[in-house]
Amino acid sequence: MKPKNIIITGGSSGLGLASATAFAEAGHNITLVARGEKRLLEAAEQLRIKYPDARIEERVLDVSNLDQVRVFAKEITEPVDVLMNNAGLMGPDFALSIEGIESQMATNHIGHFLLTSLLWEKLEEASSPRVISISSVVHRRGKIKASSIEEVRGSKKETYDRWQRYADTKLACLLFARELDLRAQQKGSKVVSVAAHPGWALTGLQINYPNRFDFLAQSAQVGARSQIKAASDASIASGDFIGPRWEAWGRPVKIQGSKRSQDLELMKRLWEISEELTGQKFLA
């Protein structure tokens, strides 16, 4: 089997590293992307040692910084078989990206929207390309309306609810995956867009928010099965959503997601606002 070129954001730990490990074991070419240089270099080196037949590269990138995303995308010269938009923030203190976008939305959705658009030509060059968007079980609590650019930007500290915002961003990831599928099909593209979520898994995001029931959670390796399946199972179609059978636990299967995540008008509004925030027209 010909090695695939796979880009994984947030690839230095948690679900991203678990996915990279599985792909490296299969002999694929992995580009690990993460904002923390020390942990990224350590993760890449460990993969090179353990899987010498896999080509492992690393790039320092804060996906919430849109200028950094633009620079990174220009450096990609080979076809991209899989783009796994995995990097994420969960419930941090209020902060804004350089562009003035609330940090969770900037990292979880907006940065990945721009990255996907800028790598689209490289995805199209691959034989069976896939974009994997990582959502969460808490997308069901998402209330995003995408009624204005100000709402999506979320730049007002006084209205910031860290947990509602996290749910909103994970709903945004799922909305993006579904709208990407629709637009790609309308353009006759071969790129497959699939969303996935890990269920209840300890991935490193929860380090500042320990729960006394954490011992019941899945490991990152088990949680990553959904996104690995989404990226590698040829039976999964564009527009599918993959998650644990029992929502929090279980083998990965095709799931429906919330009714709100299937709102076509909401998908369209969020896409158009994402274009405004990034200054990037995409599959228009």
Task: For residue 212, give the CATH number of its domain.
Answer: 3.40.50.720
Helix (H) or strand (E) holding 165: helix 162-186
What is the pLDDT, as a whole number, of residue 245? 87
Number of domains making up the chain: 1
Q: Give a yes or no: residue 284 inside a domain.
A: no
| Dist. CA 235–CA 238, nearest whole Å | 10
Mean pLDDT, the chain, rounded, equals: 93
What is the pLDDT, as a whole number, of residue 206? 46
Helix, strand and coil content of the chain, in percent to the nearest 5, comes to 45, 15, 40
> What would the pLDDT profile of 231-254 be if each residue is shown by its tens digit?
999 999 999 999 998 887 689 999
Q: Give a yes or no: residue 14 inside a domain.
A: yes
Q: Give a yes or no: residue 184 inside a domain.
A: yes
What is the pLDDT, as a whole number, of residue 199? 74
> What would the pLDDT profile of 183-230 be if each residue is shown by its tens digit?
999 999 999 999 999 975 555 554 555 555 454 555 667 889 999 999
The catalytic residue among 51, 160, 166, 209 is 160
What is the pLDDT, as a whole number, of residue 249? 66
| Dist. CA 197–CA 167, nearest whole Å | 13
> What would the pLDDT profile of 110-157 be if each residue is shown by its tens digit?
999 999 999 999 999 999 999 999 999 999 999 999 999 999 999 999
Determine what percent of the chain is predicted with pLDDT higher than 90: 88
Q: Give a yes or no: residue 78 inside a domain.
A: yes
What is the pLDDT, as a whole number, of residue 209? 54
Domain that holds residue 35: 5-278
| Dist. CA 242–CA 93, nearest whole Å | 30
How confident is the model over 158-177, as a mean pLDDT?
A: 97
| Dist. CA 103–CA 105, nearest whole Å | 6
Q: Give a yes or no: residue 137 inside a domain.
A: yes
pTM value > 0.85: yes
Q: Give a yes or no: residue 283 inside a domain.
A: no
Catalytic residue flag (residue 166): no
> What would the pLDDT profile of 53-71 be if each residue is shown by its tens digit?
999 999 999 999 999 999 9
